Amino acid sequence: MESDEEADEGLSSPASGFRITVEPGTAGIRLDQFLAQAIPSVSRASIAAAIREGRVLVDGECRKNSYRLRAGETIRGVVEKPNILHVEPEKIDLTILYEDDFLLLLSKPPGLVVHPGSGNLRGTLVNALVHHCREIAGVGDRLRPGIVHRLDKDTSGIMLVAKQENIHRNLVDCFKNRRLTKEYLALLHGIPRERRGRLVAPVGRHPVNRQKMAINHITGKHAVTNWEVLREFGGRYSLVRLVIETGRTHQIRVHMASLGCPVAGDMVYGAHRDNSVFPRQMLHASRLMFAHPVTGELLDHSAELWPDFREVLEALEGREETP
């Protein structure tokens, strides 16, 4: 895929008017889901916004996104892709593990913010992706084009990016319905009591500090993390493999901290530990397995540990060997 050095001027799509009659076979479907299927060239976010803003009418009336359609109803409206001028393409080196016309897999370095936001309008992964492949700019959310899932700034490793709108929807559903396998490697303070285990505990906003997540049995969402201890370092640290069945915000960091073994270098959930020797939180998305949305081929790709992570492990190993 050729890159394009020009700015993303003129990439916003014109408004699109439509009139659709609900057939008996599609009755009972949510309004937003129905339109996402009926107008595949427009993102779900744009469709949801059009419904909220009253630009979509069902038999002449405004309805909610969750409205269940009835056979014979007529839907009229206007939807448009949001303007994406906010995302500027930038030439930033990417470590690409796999790429075809539909998607790509890359290894995100630590310290790289995934998408533009307050205080980070440039220098993000999305800026690099839009430079690498112009078409990505029109896929999905306007400030997170192509992004199927996210990693924290200081978490390194494998990420999946969609290059077409219908592929983006398919992959988002794949994550939502757990039709893939996600593995991580983490260096932890301490050693879990069991060599391997499965933690089921809901994760939600911290009841006091809204900037943090926590195990929350009242408002938290179902979250499952499996772990296996791969190596111990002097009884002080452990390298673990983690397979997550759900993808809640900060899930691994919260779950491991709840076991009394926070991720090394984590200044949020392991602030009470000595993290001075770690360059960042020692968490790496190492492997992703899923069926290709077009070919059905099983894609199984891994991302090697970044140098800073390897250096920490080598230092711990060297400390063990010192008499």
As annotated, the active-site residues are: 152
User: Long-range contacts: 96-99, Cβ < 8 Å, 24+?
Assistant: 97/158, 97/301, 97/302, 97/303, 98/299, 98/301, 99/1
- Side chain identity at 274, as an amino acid letter? D
Contact 143, 116 (CB under 8 A): yes
With a CB cutoff of 8 Å and minimum separation 6, the contacts of 299 are 98, 105, 288, 289, 290, 291, 292
Question: Residue 79: phi, psi to the nearest 5?
Answer: -130, 155
Rounded Cα distance, 27 and 149, in Å: 31
- Partners of 301 in beta bridges: 288
CA dist 272 and 258 (Å) reads 13
Which is nearest to 158 in space by CA: 171, 167, 149?
Answer: 149
Beta strand extents in the chain (DSSP E only): 16-21, 56-58, 61-62, 74-79, 95-99, 103-108, 156-162, 180-189, 196-200, 203-205, 213-215, 224-233, 237-244, 283-291, 298-302
Strands 283-291 and 180-189: antiparallel
| Cross-strand bridge partners of residue 105 | 98, 160
Pinpoint the alpha helices (H) of 42-120.
44-52
